[in-house]
Amino acid sequence: MDAETQSGEFYLDSISVNASAQGKGIGKQLIKAGIAMGWQLGHQNIGLLVEQNNVGALKLYLQMGFKIQNEKEFMSGLYHHMVFGAQASK
């Protein structure tokens, strides 16, 4: 099985917001907190996977500065592997 994360990156896993609470900035706050935690722990890159058909999440991650690094097949699904940080600029 393919690994979800890349060597050296702080991986954000399973971020979700209840449908009744979406659109209130909670997801953005969770992601910002994850980025801050990764940096606090000394990581330069923050990574995540997003399903390719999850248009809303993909849009949010792109707006926050994540960049698509590659595509991954994981647990029978197709995902974008996205990175925020030093690796994202490459």
- Helix 55-63 and helix 26-40, axial crossing angle in degrees, nearest 10: 50
Per-domain residue ranges of the chain: 10-89
CA atoms within 13 A on the CB side of 77: 11
Average per-residue pLDDT for the chain: 89
* Other Cβ atoms closer than 10 A to 37: 13
Summarised one tens digit per residue, pLDDT across range 13-58 is 988 899 999 899 999 999 999 999 999 999 999 999 999 999 989 9
Say how far apart CA 37 and CA 46 lie, in whole Å. Answer: 10
Check residues 37 and 8 and name the one with the higher pLDDT: 37
Topology adopted by domain 10-89: Aminopeptidase (3.40.630)
> Which pTM was predicted?
0.86
